[in-house]
Amino acid sequence: MILTVFRSRARPDADLALLEKIGVRMHELATRMPGFISYKDFASADGETVTIVEFESEETQRAWREHPEHREAQRLAREQFLAEYQLQIGTPGRTLRFP
């Protein structure tokens, strides 16, 4: 499994309604990609958002990363919406579950 953690903060002047609309579309696209496992969004009280996306392999994660509509969303995020972001991509070292 490949895990992507995307942390970001919106610009103060960002069009949050449009950003949310794009986020909904990215969720729709990701969930239809081959190898998709899960996609979750979280928001903290300090304004940071975190998206966690899981794919079966590096190849399927790469296909998602390179999807033309996703690439355009990435460009718009850098140019119009985000003040900062951080991506962490890798394989979990350990996974525990209960029950």
Q: Where are the domains of the chain?
A: 2-89
Specify the pTM: 0.89
Residue 19 exposed, middle or buried by CB count within 10 Å (0-12, 13-18, 19+): buried
Would you write out the chain's pLDDT as a tens digit for each of its 99 residues?
999 999 999 999 999 999 999 999 999 999 999 999 999 999 999 999 999 999 999 999 999 999 999 999 999 999 999 999 999 999 999 999 999
58-66 vs 68-76: helix crossing angle, rounded to 10: 60
Residues near 25 by beta carbon (within 8 Å), at least 6 away in sequence: 69, 73
Task: Give the right CATH number for 2-89 from 3.30.70.100, 3.30.70.330, 3.40.50.1220, 1.10.1200.10.
Answer: 3.30.70.100
